[in-house]
Amino acid sequence: MQIRFSERAKCFRPSEIRNKLFDDPEIITFAAGKPEETLFPVKDVMEAAKHVLKLEGEKALQYSDTQGLREIRQMIASQRMKQAGVNVTEDDITLTSGSQQGIEFSAKIFVNEGDAIICENPSYVGAINAFKTYRPKYIGIPMDEDGMIMEELEKALIANPNARMIYTIPDFQNPTGRTMSIDRRKKLAEIGSKYQIPVIEDSPYAELIYEGVRAPAVKSFDKDGWVVMLGTFSKIFCPGLRVGWVCASEEMLQKYILAKQSSDLQCGSLDEKIIIAYMQKYNLNEHVEEIRKVYRERRDLMLECIRTYFPKEIKYTIPSGGFFIWLELKKEINAKELLLEAVKNAKVAFVPGGAFFTDSGHSNYIRLSFSFVDKEKIEMGMKRLGSLLYSHY
């Protein structure tokens, strides 16, 4: 039996961050980029669900709009987008199943086979894998502590006229935890206009800021519609309700709506209505404030553990928000091999960094997530990982 798959399907790759290896309950895992589930407002969600099913149960279980219910789009525009510094209305927004779907649609909408996608190097592996199915070339732009380097970006745009899309995670980037400076955000929006290339701003973590003042979204500096912003309730609320959104200028937004229609018709009606009811009855900003505290403590502890338990030569980022810390080990260490050793001998897991890069090599990086592990386990796991690392230094 010789199945003829499409060239596209031959490029499908399993995600290294959804690894069944990490499911062993004995293992302390810093791998998963999951939110802490004990922070979910389960009781309030239950109240919201009961309210919705009692008052409008039939509509909550029926087909609904492809673009998403007007009410939830209004709330996204007037709350989430406004807080990002972006002044838009519900008409500028369409819903997606998490921001992952907005990522996938972006490549579907803008990229032909062989065209180039520009992104930070390293970048989110789930985006790289999603884009891969459309068979693009990747151009990875180097970063520093202030995010993607704009001079390098312009050089790449000039050298690659077949570039069709710039993908960026400006806030507490996955995997590095780095944040793009405000000046670069302005510059990036200008570059989008100047080169007439869509800038896909993926912003799942922006609200999870642990110090300083939130930087306005790249989209807030967008003058003529070249920036597409992707948002989601997954990290600030609950990812089991699959609701994210795309904010884009009209002509682009129409393409996202049609992509949604042909892909899966719409988001879950009940999910949308639960989020609406929750936001009517409770204060999502207060909830975000609460979870920030917990994540901030975990971040602080993990950083402290690095300073205490890890060899001093290891370089690490200090994220001011989000879920991730990014480590550069010495060149001799292969992080994939280290992971096997870590799981077997130290009962601790992380994501080897290689898969986040658009090019090969880079085998000496690891991503640590502090979001999903309580403080006791952070302390224990980091100590174990530290011992393992010392055995290689």
Q: Within 13 Å of residue 153, how many CA atoms lie on the same side as its CB?
A: 27
Nearer residue to a second copy within complex by CB, 23 or 145: 23
Which residues ranging from 294 to 353 are in contact with a second copy (CB under 8 A)?
none
Angle, CA of 353, 357 and 359, to the nearest 5°: 130
Ramachandran region, residue 155 (left: φ > 0; alpha: ψ -120 to 50; beta: rest): alpha
Nearer residue to a second copy within complex by CB, 40 or 210: 40
CA-to-CA distance for 30 and 279, rounded, in angstroms?
A: 31
Q: Out of 5, 212, 312, 331, which residue is the one contacting a second copy (CB under 8 A)?
A: 5
Q: Examine residue 13 and tell whether it contacts a second copy (CB under 8 A).
A: yes
Q: Out of 21, 89, 144, 240, which residue is the one contacting a second copy (CB under 8 A)?
A: 240
Structure tokens given for 252: 């682009």
Nearer residue to a second copy within complex by CB, 147 or 175: 175
Nearer residue to a second copy within complex by CB, 27 or 143: 27
Structure tokens given for 163: 């570039």
Structure tokens given for 283: 């204060």
Tell me the DSSP string of 72-111.
HHHHIIIIIIHHTT----GGGEEEESHHHHHHHHHHHHH-
Which residues ranging from 199 to 238 are in contact with a second copy (CB under 8 A)?
224-225, 234, 238
Work out the number of other CB atoms within 10 angstroms of the CB of residue 190.
15
Nearer residue to a second copy within complex by CB, 115 or 328: 115
Nearer residue to a second copy within complex by CB, 148 or 241: 241
> Which residues 6+ apart lie within 8 Å of 255 measured at CB?
105, 109
CB of 171 to a second copy, least distance (A): 20
Which residues ranging from 48 to 67 are in contact with a second copy (CB under 8 A)?
49-50, 53-54, 57-64, 66
For the window 253-292, what string marks contact with a second copy as x by the rule CB under 8 A?
A: --x--xx-xxxxxxxxxxx--x------------------
Question: What SS3 string covers 307-352?
Answer: HHHCCCCCEECCCCECCEEEEECCCCCCHHHHHHHHHHHHCEECEE
Q: Examine residue 126 and tell whether it contacts a second copy (CB under 8 A).
A: yes
For the window 162-181, what string marks contact with a second copy as x by the rule CB under 8 A?
A: --x-----------------
Nearer residue to a second copy within complex by CB, 4 or 344: 4
Which residues ranging from 351 to 390 are in contact with a second copy (CB under 8 A)?
none
Q: What is the number of residues in the chain?
A: 393
CA-to-CA distance for 137 and 119, rounded, in angstroms?
A: 11
CB of 262 to a second copy, least distance (A): 4
Q: Out of 25, 26, 38, 212, which residue is the one contacting a second copy (CB under 8 A)?
A: 38
Q: Which helix (H) or strand (E) holds 202?
A: strand 199-202
Q: Examine residue 68 and tell whether it contacts a second copy (CB under 8 A).
A: no
Nearer residue to a second copy within complex by CB, 115 or 374: 115
Query: Total residues at the site for a second copy (CB under 8 A)?
Result: 83
CA-to-CA distance for 346 and 189, rounded, in angstroms?
A: 45
91-126 in b/e burial notation, b at 16+ Cβ within 10 A?
ebbbbbbbbbbbbbbbbbbbbeeebbbbbbbbbbbb
CB of 263 to a second copy, least distance (A): 5
For the window 94-123, what string marks contact with a second copy as x by the rule CB under 8 A?
A: --xxx-xx--x---xxxxx--x--------
